[in-house]
A and B are shown apart, each in its own frame.
Chain A
Amino acid sequence: MALAEKLAAQQRSISVAEFFEKNKHLLGFDSPTRGIITTIKEAVDNSLDACEEAEVLPDIFVSIVRTDRDVLRIAVEDNGPGILAEKVPFVFGKLLYGSRFHQIRQSRGQQGIGISAAVLYAQLTTGIPAKVISRTDARAAAHLFELMIRTEKNEPEILRHEEVEWDRTHGTRIEIEFTGTLAAKKRLIDYLRYTAVVNPHARIQADIDGEFHSFDRASEEVITPPEAIAPHPHGIEFGTLKRMASASSDDVETFLIAGFSRVGKKSAEQMLSLAGIRGTRKAKGLSSEQLKVLLDAMQTVNVPPPPASLCLSPIGEEMIVQGLEKEFSMDFVRARTRKAQVFSGHPFIVETALGYGGKLDAEGQGQLLRFANRVPLLYQQGACAITSAASEVNWKAYNLSQQGLPMGPVLILVHVASTNVPFTSESKDAVAAIPEIEREIVLALQDLGRELKAFINKRERSKLAENRARAICSIIPDIAGKVAEIVEKPVPDIAPIEGQIMRKIIARKVTREGTVELSVHNYTRSPAEVMLYLISGDDASGADQPPDFTDAFGDEFNKVWKVRIEPESHWRVHYPGRGGGSLDMRGVEEKMKVVVDLDVQ
């Protein structure tokens, strides 16, 4: 037998499902640990997309239960519009089946691979079929399916289908069991938190092997789903043009005007005259050669950018700030939504936010949160254009130290929204290096960097002013004491001077000749209510103002006074004691308070 014949016997078509079975990493199923995150990510993305389309506020429940030593049951449930019973097997049991692949608009999922790949992964590791419940309406019944994928044909196999009782009036629940570990639990929680940040209209609750996490809604505003638009002549490829032309029954001119966004009669005529094609010809009848010439002409003619406001749905500056503030505690947070831009005919919008201080980790590199179409990107940070753009910014100019990314308590959020986010691979982990996108990220971050610098400078200044005032306020009593000694008169009251310097609320402790004096001066223009906490060896018995609360631990006493002080007045307590210890005042804004302990030199 000739070799070619031998080979021919082995040559046959490969099903997509078979292909992905062998190339799991392309879809983000390279390890059991990652498999869990990818599964939940795909399911949650679908839920959010579905809720958005139905214009309902998403209410999503995620659960992971360990059913056996290394078998995990993952369930994701939403209150979306549900899926028609006859479509359910295809959505979950057939790869490359979806509603959004042919549409040009911003959406989380697109190709219809994600969730069915998870079903396939489960089937490969445990052989347990996926369980789906879906209900479209309160009046309709809920349908339960148990599904598997026939890999050689890429077709769903329904193992069970029945109508069931379900407590949700509409929505979808998917349950998948596969071998895996919870090693990546932290990353999973990060994913849910980041999702909550960029979807402030969603409520996400999660039960991760008995550990409960809740990410509340920060906004009650339903997101208007972006509309699909016609392709833009500058972003189109030959194959697409050919497919569109063959499906058209119009003449070429009408085909151009109706089939593409921003193409009017004038630009259509320009394209046709440039290509040397008569406008009255049928689009269907054009040869490949003619279509190639037409494609070139379409790129040459100047056409306005695509209508980004229709097909893109940026989160918005206010929402980003709200979303970040509910999940992170920071002293500074600002967001910037740039104007829509275009790369190769695809509209995109870059949004960034910069957070600083608060409870952010002050050690090491700052955090970078990457998002594409409202989906957090968790892997391959180093390969992502967002990372390189954020590292390209000269953060040192904004008073931050920098080793690639800025160092210290910094959080950077970058969201790229587009009808076609250019990912480096199908696992959608990293944004490809597109100069137009990188430029927008750099500009937005520089803008925020300038605001952060102003904030840091202002804070430094007020810190300096406070240090200065604190220093003076500890020297003034010494001057008063020495001056009184020289003129042989009683020590003058320095309180008015302190007030003049500080314009603040001052708590002061001083111990003289066995008497501890504690005072609070309110030099502000409004009344103040404060709590004075003093931990020292004295029990404050015999105080002229007994503490509201005393607590003994070891040989120390914690004393608390609750005090209300009118503006421009003061409160005082004396008791016999040795002084020392530590004094704190609460109930006052940090920048308005000064605690002066004259027992500590």
Chain B
Amino acid sequence: MSSKDVDALARRQLVGIAETWYDQFTEGRIPSLTLPTRTKQNIEYDETSEVWKYGERGTTRTANSEKSALHILKMAYVIGFLKQQLQESRSSTLREMYYISEGWKRAKFSAQDESNMLVEDLEIITELSREAFHLRPEEDGASVYGPLRLKETTKRGVRDIHCQQDVGEAGYPIPNNVENIEFVEHDAKFIIAMETGGMYARLMENGFDEEHDAVLVHLKGQPARSTRRMLRRMNQDLGLPVVVFTDGDPWSYRIYASVAYGSIKAAHMSEILATPTAQFIGVQPSDISDYNLPSDKLTEGDVAALKSELTDPRFDTEYWRRQIKLQLEMGLKSEQQAFASRGLDFVTKEYLPARLGEMGIL
């Protein structure tokens, strides 16, 4: 689909929402809006796409309460704004739209969160991503380093970039709209995505990418949509397996889950953002005892998060149940950089090759 076609589709879809309301008005019905419930109780595994998506549970907002009426009014203003933006081929950031809403009187947003949620609602209804509405996220894409050549269409023309030879130590920064990237060639065997900058730099310094033909990706904590989309595209288009390397605590497991299965907040985007074949490499709770890693005690919050994961459908596998229960028994957690206690080369020479071998990647 050309970008012109995408624009036209986005406009049609957005105006379609307003048309539904218009029809409700003329039929003398109070305008309403139905959306899937966005909680972990309402995400389901989709067999065909192998990702987690929203289930059947829906919430209908009818404008017969002040809150819902205001919600619909705000959405109408957002639709009006996006329609105009598409018409004029302009784009804006979520934050800019938040400030633009200052002029919408009663329909103005009370917080940035509110506008983000509204845009996500629109994505769900239209089955389009916010990029299709010409809305840019504020969030910072992470970076890639490895034997990969790509072309990026920028506003100033097409750039040809090799992600080892043409970039500095920070690597190639992933742009907001990953659809603007075209892969040219690569010499990679797999992709390793890391939670922390420290580990990313360690692998780069130790030459792990060259030694094992690996593409290094720095997730920068909870990965942005563009980072997840980049992983998905490299996995799909280049056929490269993806492994995720994080700290050994409950919050880090969720980073893995959002890469592999999609996040609860953006389950409507799972099909284009999630990499269902992504595997978790570590730090596994069993590694803490196996390698005698320096560790901290689990806090109350950690324990609660682990218990919550036991009821999360995304962690409902034999592997995860065993690991989470083991961690709850030990009451310990370790960071990925704790491997340094066994020397700076231990992680690249011993731990990762061993794990990659176990997982059938090396």
Report the separation of the CA atoms of residues A35 and B21 in the bound assembly, to the nearest whole angstrom.
77
CB distance from B81 to the nearest CB of A (A): 10
Q: Is B341 an interface residue (CB 8 A)?
A: no
Task: Say yes or no: B25 contacts A497, CB within 8 Å.
Answer: yes
Cβ–Cβ contact B69 & A476, under 8 A: yes
Instruction: Give A470's nearest chain B residue, CB to CB.
Output: B66
Summed over the interface, the residue pairs from A and B with CB atoms below 8 Å come to a total of: 71
B65 touches A472 (CB 8 A): yes
| Cα-based distance from A475 to B29 in the complex (angstroms) | 15
CB distance from A574 to the nearest CB of B (A): 22
Q: Does B80 lie within 8 Å of A482, measured CB to CB?
A: yes
Contact code string A475-499 (vs B, CB < 8 Å = 1, else 0): 1101110111111010011101100
Decide if A487 touches B19 in the complex (CB within 8 Å). yes
Bound-complex Cα distance A486 to B65 (A): 23
Query: Contact: B64 with A482, CB < 8 Å?
Result: no
Number of interface residues of A (CB under 8 A): 23
Chain A interface: which of B71-79, B154-162, B224-232? B71-79
B19 (CB) vs chain A CBs: closest residue: A487
Q: Which residues of B contact A478 (CB under 8 A)?
A: 73, 106-107
Let me know if B63 and A480 touch, CB within 8 A: no
Would you give the shortest CB distance from A222 to chain B, in whole angstroms? 56
Bound: A483/B19 CA distance, A: 8
Across the interface, name the chain B residue whose C-beta is closest to A489.
B22
Does residue A501 face the partner (Cβ distance < 8 Å to B)?
Answer: yes
In the complex, whether B18 has a CB less than 8 A from a CB of chain A is yes
* Residues of A close to B69: CB separation below 8 A: 471-472, 475-476, 479
Number of B interface residues at 8 Å Cβ cutoff, please give it: 27
A468-B65 in contact (CB<8A): yes
Contact A487 B18 (CB under 8 A): yes
Beyond A468-B66, A482-B76, A486-B83, whether A500 also contacts B30 by CB under 8 A is yes
A303, B138: Cα distance in complex, Å: 90
In the complex, which of the residues B25, B63, B66, B73 has the most CB atoms of chain A within 10 Å of its own CB atom? B25
Is A526 part of the binding interface, using a Cβ–Cβ cutoff of 8 Å?
A: no
- CB of B76 within 8 A of CB of A494, answer no
Given contacts A482-B80, A487-B15, A496-B28, contact A476 B22 (CB under 8 A): no
**Residues of chain A contacted by B22 (CB below 8 angstroms):** 483-484, 487, 489, 492
Say yes or no for A287: interface residue by CB 8 A criterion.
Answer: no
Q: How far is the CB of B133 from chain A (nearest CB, A)?
A: 14
Judge whether A601 is part of the interface by a CB distance below 8 angstroms: yes
Q: Is the CB of A472 within 8 A of B80?
A: no
Question: Smallest distance from the beta carbon of B204 to chain A beta carbons, Å?
Answer: 50
| Closest B residue to A492 using CB positions | B25
Distance in angstroms between the alpha carbons of A551 and B82 in the assembled complex: 50
Residues of chain B from 29 to 47 with CB closer than 8 A to chain A in the complex: 29-31
A501 near B80 with CB under 8 A, answer: no
**Within the assembled complex, what's the spacing in Å between the Cα atoms of A368 and B18?**
60
A contact residues around B105 at 8 Å (CB): 601
- A501-B30 contact given A475-B73, A479-B72, CB 8 Å threshold: yes
Given A468-B66, A472-B65, A601-B105, decide whether A485 and B80 contact each other with a Cβ distance below 8 A. yes
User: Given A475-B63, A476-B63, A478-B107 in contact, is the A483-B25 Cβ separation under 8 Å?
Assistant: yes
Residues of A within 8 A of B77 (CB): 482
Most B CB within 10 A of own CB, among A479, A489, A493: A479
CA distance A482 to B14 in the complex (A): 13
* A496 vs B24: C-alpha distance when bound (angstroms): 11
Q: Which chain A residue lies CB-closest to B107?
A: A478
Q: Is the beta-carbon distance between B30 and A497 smaller than 8 angstroms? A: yes
| B70 interfacial contact with A, CB 8 Å | yes
Contact B83 A471 (CB under 8 A): no
Q: Which of A471, A486, A492, A493 contacts B66 (CB 8 A)?
A: A471
The residue in chain B whose Cβ has the minimal distance to the Cβ of A497 is B30
Contact B83 A475 (CB under 8 A): no
Q: B29 — which chain A residues lie within 8 A by C-beta?
A: 497
With contact pairs A472-B63, A475-B66, A479-B69 given, residues A500 and B25 touching in the complex (Cβ less than 8 Å):
no
Q: Interface code A430-447, partner B: CB below 8 Å = 1, 0 otherwise?
A: 000000000000000000
The listed residue (A486, A489, A493, A497) touching B79 by CB distance below 8 A is: A486
Whether B80 pairs with A486 at a CB distance below 8 angstroms is yes
Chain B residues with CB under 8 A of A485: 80
What 1/0 mask marks residues of chain A from 241 to 283 whose CB sits below 8 Å from any chain B CB? 0000000000000000000000000000000000000000000
Report if B3 contacts A (CB, 8 A): no
Closest B residue to A601 by beta carbon equals B105
**CB-defined contacts of A486 to chain B, threshold 8 Å:** 15, 18, 76, 79-80, 83
B48 within 8 A of partner (CB): no
Q: Are B64 and A472 in contact (CB under 8 A)?
A: yes
B26 interface residue, CB < 8 Å from A?
yes
List B298-343 residues whose CB lies under 8 Å from chain A.
Answer: none
Distance from B103 Cβ to chain A, minimum over Cβ atoms (Å): 13
| Contact call A483/B106, Cβ cutoff below 8 A | no
B25 contacts across to A, CB distance below 8 A: 480, 483, 492-494, 497
Task: Collect the chain B residues with CB atoms within 8 Å of residue A496's CB.
Answer: 28
A255 to chain B, nearest CB (A): 79
Q: Is the CB of B76 within 8 A of A479?
A: yes
Please provide the 9 A-B residue pairs with the shortest distance between their CB atoms, ordered closest to farther.
A496-B28, A492-B25, A486-B18, A482-B76, A475-B69, A471-B66, A483-B21, A483-B18, A479-B73
17 pairs, A vs B, C-beta closer than 8 Å: A471-B66, A471-B69, A472-B65, A475-B63, A475-B70, A475-B73, A476-B63, A479-B31, A479-B69, A482-B77, A486-B79, A487-B18, A487-B19, A494-B25, A497-B29, A500-B64, A601-B105
Q: A483-B22, A496-B28 are in contact. List 15 more A-B contacts (CB 8 A).
A: A468-B66, A472-B63, A472-B69, A478-B73, A478-B106, A479-B69, A480-B25, A482-B80, A486-B76, A486-B79, A497-B28, A497-B30, A501-B64, A601-B105, A601-B106
